[in-house]
Structure 1
């Protein structure tokens, strides 16, 4: 018999329409987000809540963190 996980351990799948709405808004404003540039696996979770972290200097970062996928310059 399969046992259900406790509610605090389960996640609800993000709504694709909300994610698409945020993505379209980002494109229309030519905004760059850490979420996309770093290829963050949590992007759907954040965007479904209509939150994002912006890169105010464009799509390039000066930090060069070894774990991050953001373009360095």
Structure 2
């Protein structure tokens, strides 16, 4: 009893074509993703650099951001 013949989907030619298409797809898509991520992170980076050179513990009105322990309660 002979086994039936079988066929492989990814023949060497199809596999080479698939990898060529994947290479070009990554070649064109990866820079777009990197630029998108860089633009999304840029405001955070600017805020971090601004916090290094300014007093990061104060808000825009000059009050301490961490003044919860020093609240003055008037009853």
TM range (shorter): under 0.3
The structure whose Rg is larger is 2
Bigger fraction of residues in strand: 1
User: What TM-score do you get using the length of structure 2 for normalisation?
Assistant: 0.27
Give the TM-score normalised by structure 1: 0.28
- The one of the two structures with greater contact order (alpha-carbon pairs below 8 A, sep at least 6) is 1
Whichever structure has more helix as a proportion of its residues is 2
